[in-house]
Amino acid sequence: MLQSCMRHCGSLLRVAVAAPQASSLRYCSLETGAAPTSPTTERFEKSVNQVTLLGRAGNDAEMRGTEAYPVVQFSMATHINYQKGEEMLQNTVWHRISVFRPGLRESVYQNLKKGQRVLVQGRLGYYEKRNPEDDTIIHRTASIVANDVVLFA
């Protein structure tokens, strides 16, 4: 059903690009995968949360979380190269990577070493630290939640 909806939404996207005067929001029915025919039909909007990074590990992978909810985390550096006048410069951007997926989590924990070249594919996630007294947000952190990690020698 979802594949049918994705195919339908993909064709609508092509129509929207070809005819920009058409509505910019497209919906698919969860029941049939087609465009909804009535306002009561449940619908959802297509969206994308996808991140791909290629860089180097900033530290060995660390096991964190709890026994019930383990997570492996590591930092990763990517670089943006640019020219200023005659000089070539490099700006380093640091990312926090979180690996929850069983199997992948253990493999990354056992094999990833600081400085190793790594490719990460996943999604952007946000995590909040809350004050236990009044449940207000103290700090919000972004992390890349990895779906796949490729380690290079």
Q: Are residue 11 and residue 77 in the same domain, yes or no?
A: no
Q: List, for residues 108-152, the tens digit of each pLDDT value.
A: 999 999 999 999 999 999 988 888 888 888 888 899 999 999 999
Q: Are residue 34 and residue 102 in the same domain, yes or no?
A: no
Question: 5-9, 46-50, 69-73 — which is least confidently predicted?
Answer: 5-9
Q: Are residue 12 and residue 34 in the same domain, yes or no?
A: yes
Between the alpha carbon of residue 131 and those of residues 134, 135, 144, the distances in Å are 6, 5, 24
pTM of the model: 0.68
Q: Are residue 71 and residue 95 in the same domain, yes or no?
A: yes
Q: Are residue 21 and residue 69 in the same domain, yes or no?
A: no
Q: Are residue 25 and residue 89 in the same domain, yes or no?
A: no
Q: Are residue 58 and residue 38 in the same domain, yes or no?
A: no
**Mean pLDDT of the chain, nearest integer:** 82
43 is written with which tokens?
A: 């619908």
Tell me, what's the pLDDT at 32?
56
Q: Are residue 27 and residue 55 in the same domain, yes or no?
A: no
Query: What is the DSSP code (8-state) at residue 101?
Result: S
Q: Are residue 31 and residue 99 in the same domain, yes or no?
A: no
CA 129 – CA 140 distance, rounded (Å)? 6
* Higher-scoring residue by pLDDT: 110, 4: 110
**Averaged pLDDT, 78-96:** 96
Residues pairing with 89 in the sheet:
82
Q: Are residue 36 and residue 111 in the same domain, yes or no?
A: no
119 is written with which tokens?
A: 């490719």
For residue 17, give the 3-state DSSP assignment: helix
Alpha helices in 47-134, H assignment, sequence order: 104-111
Q: How many domains does the chain have?
A: 2
Residue 42 banded pLDDT, cuts 50, 70, 90: low
> CB–CB of 105/72 below 8 Å?
yes
Residue 6: domain span: 2-45
Residue 98 banded pLDDT, cuts 50, 70, 90: very high
Q: Which burial class, exposed, middle or buried, applies to 22 when counting CB atoms under 10 A from its CB (0-12, 13-18, 19+)?
A: exposed
CATH number of domain containing 86? 2.40.50.140
* Higher-scoring residue by pLDDT: 48, 16: 48
